[in-house]
């Protein structure tokens, strides 16, 4: 029997999510099973806010993403394939690219560059989502010669990847694709399904929802749509409206009982100024906020101009501290970043100085952790026969047994005497080769570092298969006692109150072991050269990142405009309101650019959104984020990024026109002489 289908439509802040929560609360009281599907990064925050709404624990409701739902269903229905993580898949692509390098034409040079395999992997995922096969890419007619070469190269990589994984592995995309076939045999049958993930409604997910229409008791889906259909900003809702239209048609074809719930009463915004902003920021034409309420505008919206990012972050810290002095809790505040990589280090330093507790809602790449440098430098020592720069990098990671002073003395010793190759690992005293007196303690430090490296090189040479090489790397880490060192470091961080850093470092070793397991899965006992093995390991270290959940409740949430998830907040600060950052200008893929995609579309290939369309959807993302603020919004930008002048986002001038009475502040550049980051 087809499911009962509910479509909840309305603008941001109209209560669509809370309408779902209300239904789930009734199911909890009736002991009825529910599944709430949200984006991957939103599961923790959604569980927390749902639990707060219900006023207790969640017993009969599962909060999942489509990926975790797929893994659950796969477990329930049986699976004999090895799961290949996104990082494992990226390492596999690197391996295939290296092996096929002699067959590539258009990508013969660029394929050796760092990041190429990641770009290939992204396009493979998009091809799977749009059911594009390697043969589809090769069969397109009337294409320029250069594009045909590119598609031929990519089709080769794509086909070899499919051939390698077929029947042996299953990755995240194949997992989601298999969900549609397995759902009728899973515990999802007869449940009430709720989908509050509008950004994820691509053609692949719509296919899964179609199956849910046939197996669930009911399916409820939210959409960001202006219910009047005539709002001056209605074009930003086009992507959601398109998905809504498609699913409405599918529900009709399946003869589902359909109910459309139109939400229009504002539940979220507490001030008229923020309500006006939600309706007019992307409206054409927009309306100027009534000047009869100047005080309300000044209290709700602030535009801040800073000389540079350091001063911008400092001013944000002052604003947060003042808000907390006024009675606000840290957990009521969110900081949204237009450029997280450019701001994160400065925020950590200044917020720590101002004693502001915060949670950085982002994933940290493990490639910047000393253990990654240790692994790569050790492999290079074995491969390049102990070059001095590689040897020095090994002990400069701080993960050997040497103290900082011993590391400095050994580095100076190596550079002074130009030690290289066998001179770095020879057991014989250096004084036998040089007619000078040598400090024996430094020589002992050299032998201490060299001994496990020599043993690593010998183990790597005992067999040329990948299994032997992976075990050799693992044994090297074990001999250095890396697991124990990291555990001790985590305990020290926890005692110092740095809980987030402690949790991060606790995951590092587990992530390295996970990478080794993925290497076993894709390489096993295949013969592979040390240089290619090192290349795949480097790709793996670049692809893995670590995410954590908040360690305390009362702290400021900080995140990227593209990825942050907050249910609501009283005070939102948006940093980095500069041109190209908010809204973020999407860049072309390095392998297939917008022009290529347009030509492919004209040749009859169904392709994904081009960069122009993606930039359009960025406006919807900005709209959704700023609509979470209930009391105050503070926009800020820097006039200088690094040593380069920077222009404010076009959105800043628009805000000034819509709110002529908005509070406008600025910070002058401070003298750096004797300046510290301590809070005044």
- pLDDT interval class at 322 (50, 70, 90): very high
For every residue of 171-203, DSSP letters joined together read: EHHHHHHHHHHHGGGSTTTTPEEEE--GGG--H
β-sheet bridge partners, residue 290: none
Instruction: Quote the CA–CA distance of 647 and 316 in Å, as a whole number.
Output: 19
Provide mean pLDDT across the span 545-573: 85
Q: How many CA atoms lie within 13 A of 638 on its CB side?
A: 25
Domain of residue 241 covers 4-78+174-262
Domain identity same for 65 and 200: yes
- Other C-beta atoms within 10 Å of 549: how many? 12
**Helix, strand, coil abundance in the chain, percent, nearest 5:** 55, 15, 30
pLDDT of the residue at 667? 83
Residues 433 and 293 in one domain: no
Residue 598 lies in a domain: yes
Residues 373 and 481 occupy one common structural domain: yes
Per-residue model confidence (pLDDT) at position 671: 38
pLDDT of 480: 95
Cα–Cα distance for residue pair 91/82, rounded to 1 Å: 15
For residue 360, pLDDT beyond 70? yes
pLDDT at 269: 62
Q: CATH no. for residue 340?
A: 3.40.50.300
Residues 609 and 633 placed together within one structural domain of the fold: yes
167-198 residue pLDDT tens: 777 776 777 777 888 899 999 999 999 999 77
Residue that has been written with the tokens 């498609």 in this structure: 246
Domain-terminating residue out of 495, 512, 546: 546
pLDDT band at 677 (very low <50, low <70, confident <90, very high): very low
In which band, very low, low, confident or very high, does the pLDDT at 374 lie, cut at 50, 70 and 90? very high
Q: Is the pLDDT of residue 331 over 60?
A: yes
Instruction: For the beta carbon of residue 131, count every other beta carbon within 10 angstroms.
Output: 12
Residue 118, in any domain of the structure: yes
- In degrees, rounded to 5, the angle at the alpha carbon of residue 290 between the alpha carbons of residues 285 and 294 is 135
Q: Residue 292 has what pLDDT? A: 52
Q: Looking at the predicted structure, is the pLDDT value of residue 676 above 50?
A: no
Coil/strand/helix, residue 301: strand
User: What's residue 24's pLDDT?
Assistant: 97
Q: Are residues 22 and 87 in the same domain?
A: no
Whether residues 494 and 379 fall in one domain? yes
Specify the 3-state DSSP secondary structure of 632. strand
Strands 192-195 and 218-224, by their bridges, are: parallel
pLDDT (mean) for 501-527: 89
The domain tally of the chain equals 4
Query: What is the model's pTM?
Result: 0.79
**Residues 61 and 90 reside in one and the same domain:** no
Output 212 or 599, whichever has higher pLDDT: 212
Better pLDDT: 9 or 81? 9
The Cα 421–Cα 454 span in angstroms is 11
Other Cβ atoms less than 10 A from the Cβ of 394: the count is: 23
Among residues 586, 556, 560, the alpha carbon closest in space to that of 574 is found at: 560
CATH number at residue 421: 1.10.486
Q: With 80 as the cut, is the pLDDT of residue 353 above it?
A: yes
- Whether the per-residue pLDDT at 244 is higher than 70: the answer is yes
Question: Tens of pLDDT along 266-310?
Answer: 666 667 889 899 999 999 999 999 755 555 666 799 999 999 999
Whether residue 593 is contained in a domain is answered as yes
Number of helices (H) and strands (E) in the chain: give both, helices first: 26, 19
Most confident region among 38-42, 112-116, 387-391, 548-552 by mean pLDDT: 387-391
Q: CB of 114 within 8 A of CB of 542?
A: yes
Same domain? 572 vs 649: yes
- Position 290 scores a pLDDT of 76
Partnered with residue 665 across adjacent β-strands are: 304
Within a domain: residue 252?
A: yes
Percent of the chain with pLDDT over 70: 93
Mean pLDDT score of the chain, rounded to an integer? 88
Tell me if 462 is assigned to some domain.
yes
Is 318 found in the same domain as 192?
no
Q: Token pair of 508, please? A: 């590092």
Residue 680 is assigned to a structural domain of this protein: no
What is d(CA 454, CA 378) in angstroms, rounded to the nearest whole number?
10
Q: What percent of the chain has pLDDT over 90?
A: 57
Tell me: the pLDDT tens digits for 605-659?
877 765 555 556 788 889 999 999 999 999 999 999 988 999 999 999 999 999 9
Mean pLDDT of 105-129: 87
Band the pLDDT of 668: cuts 50, 70, 90.
low
Q: Are residues 434 and 506 in the same domain?
A: yes
Q: How far apart are the first and last CA of the chain?
A: 67
pLDDT the model gives residue 595: 84
Secondary structure element (H or E) that encloses residue 443, with its range: helix 440-462
CA distances (Å), 521 to each of 174, 461, 544, in order? 17, 21, 16
The pLDDT of residue 678 is: 43
- Regarding predicted confidence, which is higher, 548 or 22? 22
More confident residue, 234 or 128: 234
Rama region for 534: left / alpha / beta (φ>0; ψ in -120 to 50; rest)? alpha
Looking at the domain assignment, is residue 672 inside a domain? no
Which of 166, 189, 211 terminates a domain? The answer is 166
Q: Are residues 19 and 103 in the same domain?
A: no
678 is a domain residue:
no
In this predicted structure, the answer to whether residue 432 has a pLDDT above a threshold of 50 is yes
Residue 40 CB-density burial (10 A; 0-12 exposed, 13-18 middle, 19+ buried): middle
Show which of 546, 562, 590 is a domain's final residue. Answer: 546
- The reply to whether 466 and 565 lie within a common domain is no
């Amino acid at each position: 029997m087809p499911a009962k289908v509910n479509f909840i439509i309305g603008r941001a802040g109209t209560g669509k999510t809370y309408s779902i929560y209300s239904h789930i609360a009734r199911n909890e009281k009736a002991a009825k099973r529910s599944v709430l599907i949200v984006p991957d990064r939103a599961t923790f925050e959604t569980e927390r806010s749902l639990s707060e709404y219900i006023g207790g624990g969640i017993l009969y409701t599962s909060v999942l993403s489509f990926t975790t739902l797929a893994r659950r269903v796969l477990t329930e229905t049986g699976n004999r394939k090895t799961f290949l993580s996104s990082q494992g898949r990226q390492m596999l692509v690197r391996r295939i690219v290296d092996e096929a390098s002699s067959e590539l034409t258009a990508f013969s040079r660029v394929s050796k560059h760092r990041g190429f395999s990641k770009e290939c992997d992204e396009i493979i995922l998009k091809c799977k989502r749009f059911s594009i096969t390697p043969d589809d890419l090769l069969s397109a007619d009337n294409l320029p010669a250069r594009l045909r070469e590119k598609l031929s190269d990519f089709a080769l990589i794509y086909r070899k990847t499919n051939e390698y994984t077929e029947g042996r592995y299953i990755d995240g995309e194949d997992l989601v694709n298999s969900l549609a076939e397995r759902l009728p045999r899973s515990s999802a049958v007869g449940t009430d399904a709720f989908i509050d993930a509008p950004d994820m409604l691509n053609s692949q997910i719509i296919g899964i929802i179609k199956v849910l229409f046939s197996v669930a008791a009911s399916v409820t889906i939210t959409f960001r749509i202006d219910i009047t259909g005539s709002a001056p900003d209605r074009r930003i809702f086009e992507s959601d409206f398109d998905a809504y239209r498609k699913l409405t048609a599918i529900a009709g074809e399946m003869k589902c009982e359909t109910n459309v719930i139109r939400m229009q009463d504002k539940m979220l915004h507490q001030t008229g100024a923020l309500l006006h902003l939600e309706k007019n920021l992307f409206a054409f034409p927009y309306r100027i906020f009534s000047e009869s309420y100047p005080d309300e505008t000044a209290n709700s919206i602030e535009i801040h101009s800073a000389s540079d990012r350091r001063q911008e972050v400092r001013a944000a810290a002052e604003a947060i501290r003042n808000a907390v002095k006024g009675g606000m809790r840290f957990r009521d505040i969110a900081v949204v970043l237009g450029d997280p990589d450019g701001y994160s280090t400065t925020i950590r330093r200044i917020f720590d100085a101002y004693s502001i507790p915060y949670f950085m809602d982002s994933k940290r790449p493990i490639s910047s952790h000393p253990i990654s440098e240790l692994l790569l430098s050790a492999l290079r020592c074995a491969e390049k026969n102990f070059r001095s720069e590689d040897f020095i990098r090994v002990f400069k990671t701080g993960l050997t047994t040497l103290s900082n002073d011993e590391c400095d003395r050994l580095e100076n010793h190596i550079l002074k005497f130009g030690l290289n190759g066998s001179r770095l690992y020879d057991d014989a005293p250096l004084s036998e080769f040089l007619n000078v007196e040598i400090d024996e303690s430094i020589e002992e430090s050299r032998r201490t570092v060299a001994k496990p490296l020599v043993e690593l090189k010998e183990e790597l040479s005992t067999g040329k298969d990948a299994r032997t090489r992976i075990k050799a790397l693992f044994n090297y880490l074990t001999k250095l006692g890396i697991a124990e060192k990291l555990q001790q470091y985590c305990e020290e961080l926890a005692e110092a109150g740095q809980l987030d850093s402690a949790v991060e470092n606790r995951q590092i070793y587990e992530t390295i072991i996970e990478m080794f397991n993925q290497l076993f899965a894709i390489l096993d006992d295949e013969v592979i050269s040390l240089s290619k093995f090192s290349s795949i390991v480097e790709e793996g270290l670049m692809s893995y990142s670590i995410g954590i959940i908040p360690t305390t409740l009362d702290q400021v949430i900080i995140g990227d405009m593209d990825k942050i998830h907050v249910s609501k907040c009283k005070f939102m600060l948006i940093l980095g309101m500069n041109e190209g950052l908010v809204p973020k200008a999407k860049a072309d893929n390095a392998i297939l650019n917008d022009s290529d995609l347009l030509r492919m579309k004209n040749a009859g290939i169904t392709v994904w959104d081009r960069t122009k369309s993606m930039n359009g959807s960025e406006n919807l993302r900005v709209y959704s984020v700023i609509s979470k603020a209930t009391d105050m919004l503070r926009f800020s930008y820097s006039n200088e990024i690094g040593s380069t002048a920077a222009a404010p986002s076009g959105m800043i001038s628009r805000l000034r026109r819509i709110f002529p009475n908005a509070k406008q502040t600025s910070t002058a550049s401070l003298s750096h002489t004797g300046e510290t980051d301590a809070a005044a």
